[in-house]
Amino acid sequence: MFKEAFFLAKDNEKRLKFIFFLMALRGVVKIIPYLILYLIILEIITPGMDIGKALASMTNVSINSILVLTACLAIVFILINVWDHYLGLFTMKSGHKICYDIRMDLGNKLRKLSLGFFTVKSTGELNTILSEYVSRIEMFISISAPYIFSAIASASTMLIFFLFLDWRMAIAAGSAIPLAIMAFTYVDKVAGRVTRKREESLRRTNSVIVEFIEGMPVIKIFNQVTQRFHKFKETMTDFRDKNVRAVVSVTVPSIILLTFTSLSIAIILPVGLYFYFDGTLPLSTFIFILITAPSFSDSLAQSLFGYLHSKSPEGQAIKNITEVMQEKPLYEPVADTGIKNFDIEFRGVSFSYDTESILHDINFKIPEKSVTALVGPSGSGKTTITSLIARFWDVDSGEVRIGGENIQEMKLDRLLSYISLVFQEVILFNDTVMENIRLGRKDATDEEVIAATKAARCHEFVNQLPEGYNTVIGEKGARLSGGEKQRISIARAILKDAPIIILDEATAFVDPENENIIQEAINHLTRGKTVLVIAHRLSTITHVDQTIVIENGKIVEQGTHEALIKKEGLYKRMWTAHNTALGWRVS
């Protein structure tokens, strides 16, 4: 667990080691007051004295020495407390710093993973990892681990000191350790099992919460509130029960463990008495060991308990974070050359999301500055083809090339700088209109943003928003219509001014006026670019340079509108169906 903590701390490894060292030192320093106490005892009871003499000689004790030692004791306590305060501050700050770095590392990692990763891990699960699990690491770094180190150092220093005073008493004090460790191993097994279940339940809980909130519109529309709430309640109940079980099931074993760690006192007393009456154990040593034994047991219990309590939850957190950190990012070359043109080419591309094959041996070429349309039934693989160009996923076999170069040999940032994507679904962030559009190019001036907005035919409706360009849209802001959102995303693409435009047309624009406005915006966006457009309304693509028809992940036809109509194949059938539907709309 400590090894993984160091792995996660990365550049902070030295800082972490320093904290652990300081805490171990803190554990050693903790016994200084006991040493002073020992000196005080020696002042009162000189070697060879028995209890009777010791009591009788109390009146002859050098008050001065005892006063000096007591003052030392007070000063040491003050120093230790001051040191504790600063050490606590330092470990807390370090914990926050290390966690900040871990969150940034995780964020950076997520940036470089393929979308595939996000379909395996739910939003709720990732949220748990980035917030709760990282916070647990912070607890581990700033509280549990230092505590464990300090306790282990205290217990060992005391044991060494006992050994130095009387080896037989040291063995008596240490004899509880194997028993405590045996009990510990047992508790550890029980705790491991119940906390694993609790963790699974926690992750499920977070997923259900996110799903419940995000899916609320759909849940309401389909009148599923009661059913969904039932699932919500079920998950919460399970989480509550797992939590309770996690606590209850370790209670009895923990008491057993505590008993074993306290056992050293029960052993020290009779053994000490025996050696004392035997005349081989000085009274001063006996009294000293008796006084320090509770603290020794305490440190022993603290180190074992500290480890036990942090091992499962914090170990789980470390394991999950490490898993994400070790996830393989998309391959990227160290350096790349530039490309000369923006032809797009698919060469024998096959692809599957999981095991089910989606695309089969796709071959086509889109010459620079030409327009290609992708058409085909729903689920045929059109969106998948476009996602491969932006490397949201990597191909299973074959190559996607831009300007003659395999896109896997390009740096990801450069590849993405060549492409503007306008998706079926528009994602808006909880920010102003201005900033949502500026996502297209972060260094664009306000004037450039406004020019792009005008070109995308958004200017008018943006001006009608309560605070114009400063209106917050997205998550909690103003609600926009589907067409308006689409135009915002076109404005972003216009602002980005990338040489390749990929358009995944929204299917649901029935309103002809909106349709015309969007078409105007698209015309502006695609002028002079290499364009790949997924079209659902065939009438908008009769003029394009070539149309590729996809069915079940294969190219079944390819050519101009006229050529395809003559073929009497799938395109022709789709065209007839489209016109019939238009006829319905007119009538």
Ligand X SMILES: Nc1ncnc2c1ncn2[C@@H]1O[C@H](COP(=O)(O)OP(=O)(O)OP(=O)(O)O)[C@@H](O)[C@H]1O
Binding site for Mg ion (CB under 5 A): 383
Residue 91 to residue 20: CA distance in whole angstroms: 9
Q: Of how many residues is the chain composed?
A: 587
Residue 45 to residue 63: CA distance in whole angstroms: 13
| Span between the terminal Cα atoms of the chain, in Å | 71
Residue 244 to residue 242: CA distance in whole angstroms: 5
Write down the least CB distance from residue 462 to ligand X, Å: 28
Residue 384 partner contact from ligand X, Mg ion, none using kind-dependent CB cut-offs of 5 to 8 Å? ligand X
| Triad 269, 274, 280: Cα angle to 5° | 115
- Of 383 and 514, the one with the shorter C-beta distance to Mg ion is 383
- Interacting residues of 585 by C-beta distance below 8 A, sequence separation 6+: none
Residue of 64, 81, 326, 378 that binds ligand X (CB under 6 A): 378
- The region of 240-248, 371-379, 468-476, 510-518 touching ligand X under the rule CB under 6 A is 371-379
Write down the least CB distance from residue 570 to ligand X, Å: 13
Residue 453 sits in the site that holds ligand X (CB under 6 A): no
Residue 355 sits in the site that holds ligand X (CB under 6 A): no
- The region of 29-37, 179-187, 372-380, 519-527 touching ligand X under the rule CB under 6 A is 372-380
Residue 119 sits in the site that holds ligand X (CB under 6 A): yes
- Of 88 and 379, the one with the shorter C-beta distance to ligand X is 379
- Of 444 and 506, the one with the shorter C-beta distance to Mg ion is 506
Write down the least CB distance from residue 529 to ligand X, Å: 21
Residue 78 to residue 96: CA distance in whole angstroms: 27
Would you report the helix, strand and coil content of the chain in percent, each value rounded to 5? Answer: 70, 10, 20
| Strand partners of residue 432 | 472
- Of 64 and 378, the one with the shorter C-beta distance to ligand X is 378
Residue 254 to residue 251: CA distance in whole angstroms: 5
Residue 118 partner contact from Mg ion, ligand X, none using kind-dependent CB cut-offs of 5 to 8 Å? none
Write down the least CB distance from residue 353 to ligand X, Å: 3
Residue of 243, 350, 383, 540 that binds ligand X (CB under 6 A): 383
DSSP state of 355: S
- Of 352 and 383, the one with the shorter C-beta distance to Mg ion is 383
Residue 295 to residue 27: CA distance in whole angstroms: 12
Residue 384 sits in the site that holds ligand X (CB under 6 A): yes
Residue 380 sits in the site that holds ligand X (CB under 6 A): yes
- Give the tokens for residue 331: 């391959």
Residue 381 partner contact from Mg ion, ligand X, none using kind-dependent CB cut-offs of 5 to 8 Å? ligand X
- The region of 121-129, 375-383, 483-491, 574-582 touching ligand X under the rule CB under 6 A is 375-383
In whole angstroms, how far apart are CA 517 and each of 182, 457, 523?
Answer: 76, 7, 10
Residue 300 sits in the site that holds ligand X (CB under 6 A): no
Residue 379 sits in the site that holds ligand X (CB under 6 A): yes
| Triad 41, 278, 286: Cα angle to 5° | 20
Q: Are 212 and 235 in contact (CB under 8 A)?
A: no
Write down the least CB distance from residue 372 to Mg ion, Å: 16
- The region of 154-162, 177-185, 373-381, 571-579 touching ligand X under the rule CB under 6 A is 373-381
Write down the least CB distance from residue 118 to ligand X, Å: 9
**For 557, phi and psi rounded to 5 degrees?**
-150, 160
Residue 156 partner contact from Mg ion, ligand X, none using kind-dependent CB cut-offs of 5 to 8 Å? none
Residue 364 to residue 359: CA distance in whole angstroms: 13
Write down the least CB distance from residue 421 to ligand X, Å: 13
Residue 585 to residue 571: CA distance in whole angstroms: 21
Write down the least CB distance from residue 358 to ligand X, Å: 5
Q: Are 169 and 42 in contact (CB under 8 A)?
A: no
- Of 383 and 519, the one with the shorter C-beta distance to Mg ion is 383
Residue 526 partner contact from Mg ion, ligand X, none using kind-dependent CB cut-offs of 5 to 8 Å? none
Residue 417 partner contact from ligand X, Mg ion, none using kind-dependent CB cut-offs of 5 to 8 Å? none
- Judged by phi (left if over 0) then psi (alpha if -120 to 50, else beta), residue 210 lies in alpha
Write down the least CB distance from residue 554 to ligand X, Å: 12
Give the residue at shortest CB distance from Mg ion. 383
# of chain residues touching ligand X (CB under 6 A): 11
For 12, other C-beta atoms within 10 Å of its C-beta total: 21
Q: Are 340 and 403 in contact (CB under 8 A)?
A: yes
- The region of 65-73, 253-261, 379-387, 470-478 touching ligand X under the rule CB under 6 A is 379-387
In the complex, the residues that contact ligand X under the rule CB under 6 A are: 119, 353, 358, 376, 378-384
